[in-house]
Amino acid sequence: MKLELKIDGVDQPIELLRNGPDCRFRLGETPERAAHVEIPEPGMYSVLLDGMSYDTSVEEAPTGLVVVVDGQRFEIEVRDPRRWTRGESAAGGEGLQTVLAPMPGKVVRVLIAAGDAVETGQGLIVVEAMKMQNEMKAARAGRVLSVAVKEGATVSAGEILATIE
C-alpha cells in the first residue's frame, strides 16, 4: 500500500510492503527496509530497525499524528492517495478533525455516531491491532460529521475512521 506522508512539513512517500510485527517498507525511492515492531501498550511502540532499538509513541493531533521517537517529536500527516474525503478538501476552512487509523487492524467498537457532540479526549473508535486495543480519541470538542467504519471492519494504516467539526 502506498501512502503520502508529510513529516514536519516535508512530503515523503512510503510504500508498506508487509504489515505486522515483521514489517517491510520503502521510503521514497530508497531500497526496501525491514523493521520489527512490538506494541507493549496502546500508543507505544518498540521498533527494531537496522540493529537499533527505538521507543516510540503515537498520539492523534488535529492535523494528523504526533510521533515521538526516543524523545524527538515529529508531526505527521498521512494521506492515502486512493481516498478522497470532504474533510481533506475543506480542512483548512472549516477546521475539521480527521480521525485516522494509526496502524492496520480491526474495528472492535464504535463509540460515536454521526451528529454526536464529543469532548476533548473522548473515546471515539477502538481498533485492535496485534492483539492490542487502541482507542482513538477526539483531539478537541466538536460534532461528529461522519463515521466511515463499522464494528468488525478491517482498516489500513492511515485510513479515515471518522470526521469531526
Mean per-residue pLDDT, 138-150: 90
In tens, the pLDDT along 83-114 reads 554 444 333 334 678 888 888 899 999 999 99
43: left (phi over 0), alpha (psi -120 to 50) or beta: left
Same domain, 16 and 64: yes
Residue % of the chain over a pLDDT of 90: 34
Question: Which domain-ending residue is among 39, 62, 78?
Answer: 78
**Pair 62, 88 in one domain:** no
Same domain, 19 and 70: yes
Q: Are both 99 and 144 inside the same structural domain? A: yes
Are 104 and 68 within one domain? no
Check whether residue 74 and residue 102 sit in a common domain.
no
Poorest-pLDDT segment among 1-5, 37-41, 73-77, 153-157: 1-5
Q: How many independent structural domains does the chain possess?
A: 2
The number of angstroms, rounded, from the C-alpha of 133 to the middle of its chain's C-alpha atoms is 14
Residue ending a domain, among 78, 100, 122, is 78
**Domain match, 160 and 88 both:** yes
| Tens-place pLDDT, residues 38-95 | 888 878 889 999 999 999 998 887 778 899 998 899 998 887 766 554 444 333 334 6
In this predicted structure, what is the pLDDT of residue 90? 37
For the chain, list the strands marked E by DSSP.
Answer: 2-7, 10-18, 22-27, 33-41, 44-49, 52-61, 64-69, 72-79, 97-100, 105-110, 117-118, 123-129, 132-137, 142-147, 154-155, 160-164
Same domain, 74 and 99: no
pLDDT averaged over every residue in the chain: 84
Asked if 164 contacts 142 with a C-beta cutoff of 8 angstroms, the reply is yes
By residue range, what is the domain housing residue 122? Answer: 84-164
Is the domain of 93 the same as that of 144?
yes
CATH number at residue 42: 3.30.700.30
The C-alpha R_g of the chain, in whole angstroms, comes to 16
CATH, residue 117? 2.40.50.100
Same domain as 74, residue 108:
no
Let me know whether 72 and 129 are in one domain: no
**pLDDT score recorded for residue 131:** 81
Distance CA 129, CA 105 (A): 4
110 and 60, same domain (yes or no): no
- pTM to 2 decimal places: 0.49
